[in-house]
Amino acid sequence: MFESLSDRLSGIFDKLTGRGALSEADVDAAMREIRRALLEADVALPVVRQFIEEVRREAVGATVVKSVTPGQMVVKIVHDELVKMLGETAEPISLAAAAPVPIMMVGLQGSGKTTTSAKIARRLQNREKKRVLMASLDTQRPAAQEQLRVLGEENGIETLKIVPGQNPRQIAERAMTAARLGGFDVVILDTAGRLSIDEALMTEIADIKKTTNPHEILLVADSLTGQDAVATAKAFDERMNVTGIVLTRVDGDGRGGAALSMRATTGKPIKLIGVGEKADALEEFHPRRIADRILG
């Protein structure tokens, strides 16, 4: 049966009751277990190494206080370090800019960008009472603009009128003007995705960024694609300087490894997580909960 990382760590240390400080050999045994568990959770190798170094520094020589077992203490050190690496606190979407606040969504095709655009719009509208306009700038996929329009209709969110023949920059300009004239608080710009990152996509998105000066650039990444998602995030961030990440399909990622890799590799906050296909299946990212999930 699958044994959780917490159980495995407790197993190593609970043999050594009655000692004052954790020795290097004990800690080494624990590090091997942590390494294995993180790799099993598909955490990127450089991130695993960095994490283990941090934990080792904390753990070697740490004095075991009387009220806990050595195992419990190491589990706590690992948990605290995971939380630290995941970013400590939930960081919400910032709307601290002049209305209409542009939020640009970027990511690969199929990552969940369009669904997430509607989820965010719905959340801002229902919880924060903001008036939100959504616009699809995806002129690549014929059905993309229609998909967003339908999602808007289903969820009571206004979408920019579809005008055939416009290029993404023209649509973006029209969205900003419509939002200004219509008194909207927020404009969500759903950009086109591709199957992989290519130069044409990056140029297109950079152009839209220049035109709209987005307050948030949110990278949408599929947590189930693991290391590929991390490489994608890195590439997008290097070119676009994203302000945050939305991890999707976290409902199917039982181990939470993608969140750790993503955060550690880009240094950018994970702001929200997608936990299902429905429009309300979006949650704030809580580092503690993901750390619990990784520890099992």
Instruction: Output the known binding site for GTP.
Output: 107-114, 190-194, 248-251
Closer residue to ligand GDP in complex, CB, 12/245: 245
Minimum distance, C-beta of residue 135 to ligand GDP, in the bound complex (Å): 14
What pairs with residue 135 in β-bridges? Answer: 189
Q: Known binding site: residues? A: 107-114, 190-194, 248-251
Minimum distance, C-beta of residue 275 to ligand GDP, in the bound complex (Å): 6
The answer to whether residue 114 forms part of the interface with ligand GDP (CB under 6 A) is yes
Residue 76 CA to residue 287 CA, distance in Å, equals 14
Pairing outcome for strands 270-274 and 282-284: antiparallel
The answer to whether residue 256 forms part of the interface with ligand GDP (CB under 6 A) is no
Instruction: Mark 205-244 with x for binding to ligand GDP (rule: CB under 6 A) and - for no binding.
Output: ----------------------------------------
Closer residue to ligand GDP in complex, CB, 69/109: 109
Q: Shortest CA distance to 185 belongs to which of 122, 129, 252?
A: 129
Closer residue to ligand GDP in complex, CB, 87/107: 107
Closer residue to ligand GDP in complex, CB, 110/296: 110
Minimum distance, C-beta of residue 221 to ligand GDP, in the bound complex (Å): 10
Residues 6+ apart with CB under 8 A from 110: 193, 195, 222
**Count of residues that bind ligand GDP according to CB under 6 A:** 18
Q: Which of 109, 166, 170, 227 binds ligand GDP (CB under 6 A)?
A: 109
Tell me which stretch binds ligand GDP (CB under 6 A): 28-36, 45-53, 111-119, 197-205: 111-119
Residue 58 CA to residue 52 CA, distance in Å, equals 10
**Both structure tokens of 230:** 């991390």
**Run of H or E including 11:** helix 5-13
Residue 281 CA to residue 276 CA, distance in Å, equals 5
Contact 105, 113 (CB under 8 A): yes
Residue 48 CA to residue 57 CA, distance in Å, equals 14
Q: Which of 6, 10, 115, 191 binds ligand GDP (CB under 6 A)?
A: 115
Residue 142 CA to residue 99 CA, distance in Å, equals 30
The answer to whether residue 275 forms part of the interface with ligand GDP (CB under 6 A) is yes
Residues 6+ apart with CB under 8 A from 29: 12
Q: Which of 249, 263, 268, 271 binds ligand GDP (CB under 6 A)?
A: 249
- The residues in 193-212 that bind ligand GDP, with binding defined as CB under 6 A, are 193
Contact 159, 148 (CB under 8 A): yes
Q: Which parts of this chain interact with ligand GDP (CB under 6 A)?
A: 107, 109-115, 193, 248-249, 251-252, 274-277, 281
